[in-house]
Structure 1
Amino acid sequence: MKKIIIFISLLPILAYAQINRDTSFTIRSAYEKVKKDYPFVKPAEIKTEGLKIFKNIVYYKEGERKLALDLFMPESPKTKLPLIVIVHGGGWRSGHKEMEHPIASRIAQKNYITATVEYRLSTEALYPAAILDVKRAVCWLKKNSGAYKIDTTKIVLMGMSAGGQIAAMAALSDNVEKLSVRECNINAAALIDIDGVFDMTTPSESGKDTIPSKPSAAKQWLGFTYKEKPDLWVEASPLEYVDRASPPMLFVNSSLPRFHAGRDEAIDILNEHGIYSEVYTIENTPHPFWLFHPWQERVVDWVDGFLKKTLN
């Protein structure tokens, strides 16, 4: 018997007409760049077999602005399942939650619940708005865990590129007042960083602002260059918050050293405190490798293997 896939759309998101959006980073634009050097790759596709998919669930509203998430889960879970909250990339100013539907669906088929989250980009709100948005999404999911069979003791944050930095900041900053929300603490059981920078002060990130008329993506998000406010760039670095209370971490990286910044230092701190970590660097890969076949399948297998070790 063919399984029925259920698509449910709840309250729609506010129309985006009044929000200045940068649409430069999409799967199509990334593919056009990547295929020149990697002609064998293909954009990964959404997998729907055996899944229920809930789209555009509003998790937070401020005035007329609504933020939403999309949820992927097995059709008939027998027990509560771990939740993986996925934060898309795009230089803090572009990208969208739908970009991560393929990887979210593939992971959900491994018997997890996954959520791709909308957050305010730098064209709408500066740091730390994106981090607070992700935290509110997690809190909404925890509050509504019964309706979606979520095991609230197994909340995992996962992000790609700028989303990896945001996910890491959300997972590691429960005790940071500026980065806290009144709704709840995250209490992340694990963190998965896919090519997200852990140290924003590294020259490959902080040294870009040499031409005032061409601000870096990080400057546009933080509001200041590194020279203008170095303490702010330190504050926005996940490495600053890695300590004995940190969750196990999985790092999956491209071959580009820029996106490894702070990773090894974070692992050293984890090792000092006996906290488990794994790291994979895929040779000869472009930055947005996780969006494409054949690399996405490898990422999903690593995520599944890591979580089976750490959540159990």
Structure 2
Amino acid sequence: MASLDARKESEQRKWSDPFVLDLAGTIGEIESDDYGANRKFSIGYSIRPAKGQYSRTKVITLTPRFMLINAMSSAIEVCHSSSKMMTPAVINMANTSGSVANSRTTSPVNPVVQLDAGAYADFHWTLRFAKTRTIRCRFAEFGWSWSGAVPLVESGEYAVRMRHESTRESKLVRVTLKLDSSCVCVYFREERTTAPPYRVENYSLETLRTHQHRVRRSEILLPHHSLDYAWDEPTEEHLLVVDMLPSAAGDNSRPMRIGSFDLDKIQRYPDALGGTLGIEISTDGPTRVLRFTDTRLRGKKLRQSILKLLMTWQR
């Protein structure tokens, strides 16, 4: 009976593809499926010559291909997901038994890695989303929704946005990927509030609604308010759609589309809404700023400046 169990267990595990050991200096990745655990294990390997009297020997080092590092002061959760759907279940990496950590479990199909502040853990894929190498993250406190999908590659940097479902609070998190030998280190850091990737400023008298192209999540921007912004879905098209909402109470007319904007392209747009709404994209240090202004106020300020200059000359 024991031999049958062992054979069944071995049949549920698949060997990785072979790799050549002759080439020193090689760095690569191999994968092995475990159908019983619904996991695709991703292993990094490096081949280097030994030192000294063992120089003719090659040293093969195996590491987790991906290592998650929480450099924030808050606990977070990370899951493997497709760009469209996910049904994660929480697994606390601090719990060596691998038991479910809290009541937010929805399915054992896609386990979640839970990282306390300053913690780290290796990361492997689920077979369900094996073709899509993306992750999502959220704060571990109740009420936070999942961020957009971030691709796991050898290097890169992404700013992701996490929202609280009840309070509508949102926070920006910087995800940085760095290759260290055969291991890709994935750092999660709090984004500096003084230098967000983007900012939308509404200096007009209109109420605006913004959302990423083909993404349902939207933000309402009141007159003379600003919004620190990052793409809700980093892997989707980087276009920000802006609509003007009806200003009168009880007005059931449809929102008016102002335009779709590439926030990385610095330019001034033609005035909109009959010439009353000025639109420009500029820079503020590392931040790209999409600014809406009331051209009537612009003209008023210009007249005030001219009048002040004339009064100075008369003196």
Question: TM over 0.5, yes or no?
Answer: no
Question: Greater helix percent: which structure?
Answer: 1
Larger radius of gyration: 2
Q: TM-score, normalised by structure 2?
A: 0.27
Question: Greater strand percent: which structure?
Answer: 2
Q: Which has the higher contact order (CA 8 A, sep 6+)?
A: 1
Q: TM-score, normalised by structure 1?
A: 0.27
